[in-house]
A = this chain, B = another copy of it.
């Protein structure tokens, strides 16, 4: 037993972070204790506040400590465009690309019958309600291009069809900066099927 109880407890607690194993947790604990106690105290406080106060936006289900998230509350977003994504990290990625000026709906997951995740768990009723009440004209489905993400996209399309909205899916194909040689076969198939006239 080479750690004192409090250090042991800190190392164990750090391992709840994704990608942090025994060795990194030890390194983090010693780094904070030896060289950055102030950073450790600020982190403790930030964690405590975020875990206690961050909830979900009443309109889009994104993470926020306010009743409405910054994007839903903003008047400069186009109310006719709604983009459906799986997670808050997807919102961050799209916002960083600067390519979308509408609002979002965050499923917080995807349909996954094996894990017991059905339409209610990913907020489909709330999405349908929002589409009926609001002035959305185009629903852009940006779930992940995985088996579950595609299944979720199809399910949403089926549910939304009677409403007569424009429903679109973001394009799949060869990523920019990639080399054809290293792109997988399914992506190439998508890229060929989705080809455009120049």
Contacts and interface: CB of A to CB of B under 8 A. Distances in A.
Interface string A107-139: 010000000000000000000000000000000
A63 B33 contact: yes
A5 B91 CA distance: 16
Interface in A15-73: 16-19, 24, 26-34, 36-37, 39-54, 63-66, 69-71
A88 B31 contact: no
A157 interface: no
A10 interface: yes
A53 B1 CA distance: 19
Contact of A66 (B4, B17, B46, B87): B4
A81 interface: no
A167 B130 CA distance: 77
Q: How many identical subunits does the complex contain?
A: 2
Contact of A44 (B17, B29, B51, B89): B51
A66 B4 CA distance: 8
Contacts of A70: 1-2, 4
Contact of A16 (B43, B50, B63, B87): B43
Contacts of A49: 6, 9-10
Contact of A13 (B12, B47, B87, B108): B47
Interface of A: 1-7, 9-10, 12-14, 16-19, 24, 26-34, 36-37, 39-54, 63-66, 69-71, 87-89, 91-92, 95-96, 108
18 contacts: A2-B70, A2-B71, A4-B54, A4-B64, A6-B46, A7-B54, A7-B63, A14-B43, A17-B32, A19-B24, A19-B27, A19-B28, A26-B89, A30-B87, A33-B88, A41-B48, A44-B45, A44-B51
